[in-house]
Structure formats: structure tokens, C-alpha cells
Amino acid sequence: MPEKKKMEQDFGPIVEAKLPELKALCLKGKLAEGIEELLSLEKQTRLAEDVDSTTKVAVFIINICFECKDWKALNESLVTLSKRRGQFKQTLQGVVGEAVAYVDKFGDKGEELENKLKLIDTIRTITEGKIYVENERARLTRKLAKMKEGEGKIKEAADILQEVQVETYGAMEKREKLDFLLEQIRLCLDCKEFVRASLVSKKISSKALAEPDFADIKLRYHEHMIRYYLHDGNHLQVARSWQAIYDTPVIKESKDKWSQALKLIVVNLVLAPNEPEQYDTLLRVYEDKNLNDLPPYKALLKYFLTKELIRWTKLQELYRSELSQHTVFQEPKVWDTFHQRVVQHNIRVISSYYTQITYKRFIELLDLNQESTEKFLSELVTAHAVYAKIDRPKGVVVFNKPLEAAEVLNEWSSNVTSLLDLMEKTCHLIQRENMVQNSKVQAQ
């Protein structure tokens, strides 16, 4: 690492004396002449390795351009100062910080908006690839994206914000970094780029969300993920996101909030396909004491946890008005999904009680027509959820899975082993009884 050069001359007093004179010159309308002299002074301080004086002169140049409202000179000065040979990092940081502060002072209409966008573009250009001003560039990029979003250009705003790989920034605070990533996810979802939203979401670790100070970040993250999972039709992941929201202390403090979250957990769990993780979550939610305050939802879970047939017409009558209050049930296809889950539950119940059943009776129990019955049964068989075969000539549905040759042999071997063990134990008991009787005879 090269040694830091020592300051050859302190230009502090000279700069203090010259700046007021040059400011007066610029304000008289001779801005170009004043900037030329200021750049000459900046060169002297830079060559003398006087960092503080160089920074002071450079910031003064930007400041006087803004005061004179010469926007062209402002942008040109920013570019010139950033390209000076051997320019100090501290100087560029000071110049960029000063220029960023001016962005908010422009209006959002007409010529002022045009000048504002030019200034933003200039700052983003001179800060590109420079790690020591990456935070300023990221914040400015976010402002630009917000402006584009305000104009209705959501896709352009999302593309602009995606340019910033904020997860690699070491100097940025964790909260600001997470907030930036959440904004990227939101814009991706708004412009229907769900794959990109999923990729960005993976940059946020669960460990970061678990920190107590980041409860608001955690809630926003799961709200965005719920939007993504609903689009994907993954109701189990939606339920898990609502579970994470429900477990947040700030939500537990308000009954209205936790009751709403718990309702949505139940709703999405019953819409999710049956699998070990879904069933395990059902059991854990059913045992939650807070569910006692929501009797209809506890009863709904009980339907799916009990090995009994569910009558779809009855269930619709009981829950249509209650479930229609939730946004997820506003779409007709969700009711079709709910019906599908009820039928799948009924098929699993029937398969657990019957080894075979007549096809006619099977259709009656499911309360479906023949085409729908075959469709639902085929889906479950394909998913390996149940074993079933339809014997059309005999008119029966067989649920008893025939054993393969190896399984038959293993079962026979196990039975023979059990029989031999039983015979050995019986012989031992007979022998012991004989010994007891013989000892009694000898004693007499």
C-alpha cells in the first residue's frame, strides 16, 4: 500500500483570503472568469497535497454555480472536478455531497424538472464505479426511480433501481440496505417481473429479519412475498408468510391484527395441497390457544384434520359469507381450488376405510359426476397421494395396493421367523412345566 503523501504547503490562509474576492467576482456576472481562477487555485492546493483546502475550493465552485443558477456551469464543473488528475477521494465526496443536497431544491415541473434530471444524471455519471461515493449514488438512484414511478413509468423505475447492487455495499447501514432491497422487490412486483422479484428476495436473510429492531422491515418483506406467492398459487408459502407476520411481537400486541393474520393462515392452509409440511402446520395452528377466539376457523381446520367426509354443499353454506370477506376468495377460481381440496380430503378418507368400493357408491360419497370423479382421483394417484385403480368391467375402485414379489417374499420370511420364534418359546414353556412336575414327584 503506497504511503500517504505529506502536505507540502498549507493553503488554508490563502484560500480563506481569496474565496470572498472570487465570490464577489462571480456574483458580478463574471462566473466563467471566477471559475477559471478557482480551478487554478484548486490545482495549486491539490499539487501541494492540501486535502482540506482542495475540498473547500471544489465545494465552493459547486456552491457558487448553484447560487448564480448557471446549471450548465454546475454540471460541467462537477465533471471537470471529478476528472482532475490525482483528485482526492475526500474532495470528490465533498463535491458529490454538496451536489446531492441541491437535487431536492429543484422543482418537479417544466424547466426545473429538466435541470434536476440533468444534475442527477451528471452526479450518477461521475460516481459510477467509485466505492467511496456508492451510498450517495444509491440514494440518488432511488430518488430518480421514485420520480419515474411518479410519472407512471414503473418498468423504467424498476430497471433503474436494479442497476444498484446494494447488497455488496459495505458502508451502508443494514436497515437502509434492507429498505432498498424491499423497494426493488416492490417495483418488480408492480411491473409483473415475478422471477426478478424472487431473485432479489433471496438477498434478504431470515437472520436479518429476525432482529427485534427490524420488525417493520420484516412485515413489509412478508407482505411483498405474499403478493409473489399468491401470483404463483403457492398457498402453503402464503400461510408461512402470514405465520411469520402473526409471530411478530408488534402484531401480537393488537387483537385485531393477530386475529386477521390467524384467519389468513387458516384460509391459506386449507387451500394448500395436502403434504407432510402442510399437515404438520395444520396441527400446530389447530393447537394455538388464540384460535379458540375464532370458532368458525377452528371448526374449519377440524374438518380437514378429522377422518370424516366433508359435504361440500353444507360447507359452502356455512362458510361462503365468512370466507368471501377475504381478498383471496374474491376470485372464482379460488373457490374451485377450495372445492378441489375438499374432494381430495374425501378421497383420502375413503381410501383409509375401504380396500375396494363400487364405483357407483364412490361417486355418491364424493357427490360428483363420473368425469369429475375420475379427474380428481387421477390427480391424487399421479401425485402418489393415494393408490387406486378403477376396474370398469366389475364397476369397482380398488384402494388395496398389491404387493410386489420382493415384498411378498419379505412378508413370508417375516411370518416364518415369527412362527419359529413362537414354536421355540412354546417348547421352552413345555420343558419348564415338565421339570416343575418332575421335581414335585421326586419330592413326594
> How far apart (Å, rounded) are the C-alpha atoms in residues 251 and 258?
6
Q: Contact 275/281 with Cβ under 8 angstroms?
A: no
- Point out the least confidently predicted range of 3-7, 143-147, 156-160, 204-208: 3-7
224 band by pLDDT with thresholds 50, 70 and 90? very high
- pLDDT at residue 8 in the model: 64
Task: Summarize the confidence of residues 131-146 as an average pLDDT.
Answer: 88
> How far apart (Å, rounded) are the C-alpha atoms in residues 334 and 353?
29
Burial letters for 111-147: b for 16+ Cβ neighbours within 10 Å, e otherwise? eeeebbeebbebbbebbeeeeebbbbbbbbbbebbeb
**DSSP state, 402?**
P
Cell 370477506 identifies what position? 325
Within 191-294, residue ranges assigned H as helices are 194-201, 206-209, 215-232, 235-246, 249-252, 255-271, 276-286
Q: What are phi and psi of 279, to 5 degrees?
A: -65, -40
pTM, two decimal places: 0.81
The contacts of residue 169 (CB under 8 Å, 6+ apart) are 134, 135, 138, 177
Cell of 182: 424491499
Provide the residue type at 324 as one letter: S
Task: Summarize the confidence of residues 165-170 as an average pLDDT.
Answer: 82
Q: Is 43's pLDDT higher than 70?
A: yes
Average pLDDT value over all residues in the chain: 87
Q: Is 6's pLDDT higher than 70?
A: no
Q: Is 217's pLDDT higher than 90?
A: yes
- pLDDT at residue 444 in the model: 66
**CB neighbours (10 Å) of residue 230?**
18
Task: Summarize the confidence of residues 120-129 as an average pLDDT.
Answer: 88
> How far apart (Å, rounded) are the C-alpha atoms in residues 373 and 41?
88
The percent of residues above 90 in pLDDT, for the chain, comes to: 31
Task: Summarize the confidence of residues 43-63 as an average pLDDT.
Answer: 87
